Amino acid sequence: MGNGVREGRVDFQRQDVELVPSTHLPPEETREKKKVLNSLMSGALAGAVAKTAVAPLDRTKIMFQVSSKRFSAKEAYRLIYRTYLNEGLWSLWRGNSATMVRVIPYAAIQFCAHEEYKQLLGSYYGFQGKALTPFPRFIAGSLAGTTAAMLTYPLDMVRARMAVTPKEMYSNIVHVFIRISREEGLKTLYRGFTPTIIGVIPYAGLSFFTYETLKKLHADHSGKLQPSPPERLLFGACAGLIGQSASYPLDVVRRRMQTAGVTGHTYSSILLTMQEIIREEGLIRGLYKGLSMNWVKGPIAVGISFTTFDLMQILLRKLQHGSNVER
C-alpha cells in the first residue's frame, strides 16, 4: 500500500509538470501576431525618429535636386540660413508632417516585411533560425523596400511637393492631395513611381544586406550575440552610405518627376528626364547633385533607423517576456 501511495504521488506530480507549460505557453498564432505587431511598432518609431533628426538636411537636398542650381556645401548652408532668417526655425521642418504621414507606415511596413521575408526565405533555402546567406539577404531587403514603396507612394509625392513650395501654396497634406487631383489629375500622384521602384531595389537591398552582414561578421569575430548601440549606429551608417550611393541618380530623377507640376518642367519618362538633366547640368553635377549632403544625412538617418528598430524589438521582447513570467 505504501508503494501505491508513492506511485500515486509520482504520477500526480508528473501530470502537473505536463499541464503547466501547455496552459501558460501562448499558441503559435498568438506569438506570430505579437511578432508582427512588434515589428510594425518598432519600424514606425524607427522611421519617425530617423527622419525627424535629418528633416532640415532632407528638405535642403530636395530643393537642390529639383532646381538647376549648382550644389555645394557652402550653397547648402546659405540656403538653410536664408530659410531660417526668412521663414523661421520651424520652416526647416516644413513638409515633415507629410514625411511622418508617409514614413511611419513606410518604415513600419518595410521593417515588418523584412522580418517576414527573412522567415520565408529562410524556410525556402533551409536556413530556418539561422542567418541567411548573402543572396537571400539582399532579396529580403529589396522585397521589403519594394513592398513599402508600392503601398505608400502617393504620400512620398505629397511630401516632395510640400518641401519645394511656399506654405501659401499648400496649407496642409489634404490640400496637396485635393489640388493635385483637381488641377493635374489623379495619375500625377504616381508620377515618378517607376524610378522609385527601380531605385528602391538596390537601395533597400544593399542597406539591409550591409547591416545584416556587418552584424553577422561582428558576432562571428567578437563572440558577442548582439552589437552595442554605438556599433549598431556605425553598421547602419555604413548601410545607408552604400545603399543611397548606389541608387542616388534615380532619386534625383523621381524628385524631378514628382515636382514637375510646380517647377515648370515636363518630365514624361526616366530616360528623357535623365537626358534633360545631363544636357542642362552635366552627368555628375546633375544626376549626383546633393550626394555629398546625402553622405552626411543618409548614414545618420539609416543608422538611427536600424538602431532604433533593433533596440525597440529587444525592449518589447523583454517586456512581453516579463509579463508572461508574471502570469
| Each residue's pLDDT tens digit, 203-249 | 999 999 999 999 999 999 988 888 999 999 999 999 999 998 989 99
Find out whether 236 and 185 touch, Cβ atoms under 8 Å.
Answer: no
Across the range 7-26, mean pLDDT stands at 45
Residue 13's pLDDT is what? Answer: 44
**Ranges 6-15, 125-134, 163-172, 233-242: which has the least confidence:** 6-15
User: Position 236: which residue type?
Assistant: G
Residues 208, 137: Cα–Cα separation, whole Å: 7
pLDDT higher than threshold 60 for residue 326: no
pLDDT at 264: 64
Please say if the pLDDT value at position 25 is more than 60. no
Give the range with max mean pLDDT: 107-111, 152-156, 245-249: 107-111
Which span out of 58-67, 135-144, 156-165, 293-302 was modeled with the highest average pLDDT?
135-144
Q: Of the candidates 256, 285, 282, 280, which has an alpha carbon nearest to the alpha carbon of residue 269? A: 256
Note the pLDDT tens digit of each residue in 282-296: 888 889 887 887 888
The more confidently predicted of residues 74 and 36 is 36
pLDDT reported for residue 315: 92
Question: Is the pLDDT score of 70 beyond 50?
Answer: yes
Tell me the per-residue pLDDT of 246-272, one tens digit each, with 9 for 90 and over.
899 998 888 888 887 666 677 778 888
- pLDDT for residue 47: 94
pLDDT at 112: 96
Q: Which residue has the higher pLDDT, 256 or 10?
A: 256
Mean pLDDT, the chain, integer: 83
Looking at residue 307, its pLDDT comes to: 95
The domain defined by 192-316 carries CATH number 2.40.50.180: no
Is 132 a residue whose pLDDT tops 60? yes
Q: Are 48 and 110 in contact (CB under 8 A)?
A: no
pLDDT of residue 327: 53
Check residue 77 and give its pLDDT: 78
pLDDT of residue 108: 96
CA dist 46 and 304 (Å) reads 7
The domains of the chain are located at 94-190, 192-316
Categorize the per-residue pLDDT at 311 as very low, low, confident or very high, splitting at 50, 70 and 90. very high
CA distance 323 to 203: 38
Return the DSSP state at 54.
T
Residue 4 pLDDT exceeds 50:
no
DSSP string, 212-273: HHHHHHHHHHH--SS--HHHHHHHHHHHHHHHHHHHHHHHHHHHHHHTHHHHT----SHHHH
218-255 residues labelled b (16+ CB within 10 A) or e (exposed): beeeeeeeebeeebbbbbbbbbbbbbbbbbbbbbbbbb
- pLDDT at 18 exceeding the cut of 60: no
pLDDT band for position 201 (cuts 50, 70, 90): very high
Residue 200 burial (CB < 10 Å; 0-12/13-18/19+)? buried
State the pTM of this model.
Answer: 0.76
